[in-house]
Structure 1
Amino acid sequence: GVHAEVQAVNHVKDETLLKSSTLLVNLEPCSHYGKTPPCSRMIIDKQIKKVIIGEIDPFPKVAGKGVKMLQKANVEVSFGLRRAESRFINRRFFTFHEKKRPYIILKWAESFDGYIDEIRRANEPPQWITDTYARILVHKWRTQEQAILVGTNTVLMDNPQLTARYYYGKNPIRLILDRNRRLPAHLHIFDPQAPTVVFTRKPEESKLQHVTYVDIPFHDMPVEILDYCYQAQIQSVIIEGGSQVLSAFIEHNLWDEARIFIGDVVFENGIRAPRLPTNPTFTSRLSNATLLYYFNDDWASIANIDYL
């Protein structure tokens, strides 16, 4: 899409003001021709005299080159204004380029006594832990991430759509674990509402244009999934279940953020919810649940609730 620098300049009605203006950006202006022309060149062409940058772009094609282009054109450049906020706002982007993997958000709801689900049969409807507001919020979150990941049992038990149908925005790519190809073709995940990638040990050429089968050995599942995502340019994934999948990423310490609803309902028995090795960073009370936000090591110290 259109970069923020271009949008900001386009909103200036009197372009003569640009020559005496200062441009504040949380990320270094780009310097290369990609999907859009370089923002650094636009800044120079508009004769903006000063640029204040929150953080240098980690993308190798930029990584300081935008600054050099500006300085060569005698644009005054300064760095580090609200650097922590700049990194947090762009945490998906920084994680992707610095760690060579997508930013990982874990999400689940658990009962007041710590169960993620009751013991039930396939297609038996679950007892909802949260209310409609929480479900709309989750669909909003889905529009903010590039992909959503769930395991085989979650699909078999709930036949989820994994879309953002309760909120305005784009549906995420559906990432599905199906090691032994147990998932029948009539399930919602195979409908054309969103692209679907199925990770399996028994791949075949898909008969559906929007479905792709990817062969992975399942020796080190979280790493294998994230390697695929990096190669596919998927910068963020929200993982919504089930408990085994969530726990696997926690055990590998391959997570950046977790959003957990603690409901008021009591199950007394069932499937235990995963456990995180840290304390929540933020807490928010909803109508019938408490929402806990957790951040892993790199982000806990700079997390800002204003940018969630």
Structure 2
Amino acid sequence: MSKTFSSADEEHMRAALALAEDGLGRVAPNPSVGCIITDRNGVVVGRGATRPGGRPHAETEALAMAGGKAGFGTAYVTLEPCSHHGKTPPCCDALIAAGVARVVIACEDPDPRVNGKGIAALRAAGITVETGLLEEEALELNEGFILKVERGRPLVTLKMATSLDARIATHSGQSKWITGPIAREATHRLRAASDAIMVGVNTVLADDPELTCRIPGMEDRSPLRIIVDSRLRLPLTARVVVGAREVPTWIICAAGGQNRDRMAVIQQQGIELIEIPADNSGLPEIAAVLSELGRRGITRLMVEGGSHLFASLLRADLVDRIVWYRAPVIIGGDGLPVFQPLGVDSLDLAPRFERRHVEAVGEDLVETYYRSQR
């Protein structure tokens, strides 16, 4: 950390990061940003975060709270202030107009419309700008937005709930419930921080899930639901179909060869159909799926099943994180594995991840893995 940053600077930036984190899952296609403003004496006079839907921006919210007290003060922002005209004026212009003397930025914005231009505008106005405070935390928080900008796809997190021996169901198909209620509640919190949940049609056929956030007080945080259903086998009685007018739902199917009458009936339920060219196995090509989701503004995608979808993402090297809930139970080799075959011939070719976190959740264990950088 630069010597120019004080303990108070770090405290304010951590508060800004906490504000940004709370917005995850609600601000796509924009990044989730937090902003703290202090007056000339270092007293906090404004707090703001990107609002649902991506507008207003965090700086605008914080300045509105600060009123006229921001003059000669400091703004702490988790991502470089925007410098382009969109649905709202540039945030760097708002900070300049407010008369702040100093802006501390956690990380720069890779969006080509910004990418250093916000910092340059602030400095040109005579404002002291310092960058890099808690940069790694800020980059991790907005990794989904950054991936969308740089690679055109969302951050992909596999969420798995298995036995100790990585089984998601018994040989008879029973899967409810392998993990306990505390782990299941944690899953709902993960959903709330995601832009979308994606599952394969077999998961819907087997479990008939709602794929919503059902924590009291957070029901409005349910993300978009996406079902990969190459041949439109999803029954109209499925919960995700019945509730499609309350929670936005997309179905991704293979392009060409679909029954147009069947497609029309599904669309009449309030579901959007997305046709993606098929791969050699007849399934929607997974890289093209993610590219289309990125084009539509999805930045954070949680994949909850099933084993075929997990395997296709791993084979394509498109998994960024794994959140693995494991129950203290063993099902055995005749149970359904969490992954279908990957075709790995050599350990050098096996997907590798780094374990970042391990925590007990009731009787279960949750392990968090990130894509290995080696």
8 Å contact from structure 2 (residues 352, 372) kept in 1: no
Matched residue, 1:243:
307
Matched residue, 1:260:
324
Matches within 5 A, 1:136-151: 136-151=185-200
Output one character per residue of 1:44-89: Cα deviation in whole Å (capped at 9) or x when no partner. 1110011121211111222222122212222121222222122112
Matches within 5 A, 1:285-304: 285-297=360-372
Matches within 5 A, 1:170-189: 170-189=221-240
Aligned partner of 1:48 among 90, 97, 100: 100
Q: Amino acid of the residue matched to residue 99 of structure 1?
A: R
Counterpart Cα distance in 2 of 1:41 and 1:139? 39
Counterpart Cα distance in 1 of 2:60 and 2:277? 45
Moved more, 165-174 or 91-100: 165-174
What secondary structure, in the 3-state scheme, does the structure 2 residue paired with 1:116 have?
strand
What secondary structure, in the 3-state scheme, does the structure 2 residue paired with 1:153 have?
helix
Number of aligned residue pairs: 294
8 Å contact from structure 2 (residues 354, 372) kept in 1: no
Matched residue, 2:87:
35
Matched residue, 2:208:
159
CA 1:118/1:92 → structure 2, altered by over 3 Å: closer, same or farther?
same
Moved more, 192-201 or 237-246: 192-201
What secondary structure, in the 3-state scheme, does the structure 1 residue paired with 2:71 have?
helix
Matches within 5 A, 1:51-130: 51-120=103-172, 126-130=175-179
Counterpart Cα distance in 1 of 2:71 and 2:206? 61
Counterpart Cα distance in 2 of 1:25 and 1:297? 29
8 Å contact from structure 1 (residues 218, 224) kept in 2: no
8 Å contact from structure 1 (residues 163, 193) kept in 2: no
Deviation, structure 1 residue 209: 6.1
Moved more, 226-235 or 4-13: 4-13
8 Å contact from structure 1 (residues 171, 193) kept in 2: no
1:7 corresponds to 2:61: yes
Q: Amino acid of the residue matched to residue 62 of structure 2?
A: A
What secondary structure, in the 3-state scheme, does the structure 1 residue paired with 2:157 have?
strand
User: TM-score, length-normalised on structure 1?
Assistant: 0.89
Q: Amino acid of the residue matched to residue 91 of structure 2?
A: C
1:273 corresponds to 2:338: yes
Gaps of 5+ in 1: 301-308
Q: Amino acid of the residue matched to residue 207 of structure 2?
A: D
Output one character per residue of 1:197-256: Cα deviation in whole Å (capped at 9) or x when no partner. 111132634543631112122216220210110121111110000011111111211011
8 Å contact from structure 1 (residues 27, 54) kept in 2: yes
Matches within 5 A, 1:203-214: 204-205=263-264, 206-208=266-268, 210-214=270-274
Matched residue, 1:230:
294
Counterpart Cα distance in 2 of 1:290 and 1:231? 35
Counterpart Cα distance in 2 of 1:57 and 1:79? 11
Identity %: 30
8 Å contact from structure 2 (residues 358, 368) kept in 1: yes
8 Å contact from structure 1 (residues 95, 101) kept in 2: yes
What secondary structure, in the 3-state scheme, does the structure 1 residue paired with 2:226 have?
strand
8 Å contact from structure 2 (residues 352, 371) kept in 1: no
Counterpart Cα distance in 2 of 1:36 and 1:141? 30
